[in-house]
Amino acid sequence: MSNDDSKIKKALQSRIKEFKFALNSEAQKKELHENIPGSEIMIRVEVFLPSSNPEEFVDGLFLYMGDSGGIVSAEYYFRDMYDVELCSLSEEELKIINELFKDDFTLEIE
C-alpha cells in the first residue's frame, strides 16, 4: 500500500465516524448537511456494444452525464470469460463519442 493509499483510507475512516455520529444525532446531521459546499449530479449510462461472439466476450461504454445534460466523461470496458478491463477515454476519443451519441443520450434536470 502506498502512502497515498494510507492517507485516503485514514480520511475515509474519519468521515465514516463523522457520518455514524450524524446518524445518531439530528443536530449533527443537520450541521453536516448545512455545511456541504455543493454537490454534482452524475448519471452513468451503460452502452452494450454488439459482439460477434457474446459467449466469449462483451464490450461497451460507460457514459457519464453531468448537470449540463451532456456526456462529460466516458470509459470503455472489455469483459471476457476470465477478466474485465476498463479504461478512460482520451479527450479526442471523448469528442468522437460525444458526436456519435449526443442526440441519443441527453438529460434534462430541473
Q: How far is Cα 78 from Cα 56, in angstroms, rounded to an integer?
A: 11
What pLDDT score was predicted for residue 110?
Answer: 55
Residue 81 — pLDDT band, cuts 50, 70, 90? confident
**pLDDT tens-digit readout, 62-75:** 999 887 778 899 99
pTM as predicted: 0.64
Q: How many residues does the chain have?
A: 110
- What does the DSSP assignment read for the chain? --HHHHHHHHHHHHHHHHHHHHHT-HHHHHHHHHT-------EEEEEE---S-TTTEEEEEEEEE-TTSSEEEEEEEEEESS-EEEEEPPHHHHHHHHHHHTTTS-----
pLDDT at 60 over 80: yes
Q: Up-side HSE of residue 87: CA atoms within 13 Å toward CB? A: 8
| 6: its cell numbers | 494510507
Torsion angle (degrees, nearest 10) of CA 97, 70, 74, 98: 10
